[in-house]
Amino acid sequence: TRGLEVVLTDDDLRATYEANTPMRRAGTPEDIACAALFLASPASSWVTGKIFHVDGGVERPAIEVPVPPLEPRS
């Protein structure tokens, strides 16, 4: 997201974020895609009514992230 983009492009913020994330790294689009593919595959046929947190173990914001200004939708 745009909010996390601010963190990932600033070396100091990224290091702080990753140090405060249980998995010690920022997530990638591939992490989300793998979870979605698992849920859409036969491998998840025994999974019912669960919430999958694909968040690297972060249950709350690891750091304060500067919020970019909102732009009106067109």
Look up the pTM and report it: 0.63
Please give the Cα distance from 20 to 62 (Å, whole number).
5
Q: What one-letter code names the amino acid at 68?
A: P
pLDDT band at 59 (very low <50, low <70, confident <90, very high): confident
pLDDT band at 45 (very low <50, low <70, confident <90, very high): very high
Pick 27 or 41 by higher pLDDT.
41
- Please give the average per-residue pLDDT across 27-50, as a whole number: 92
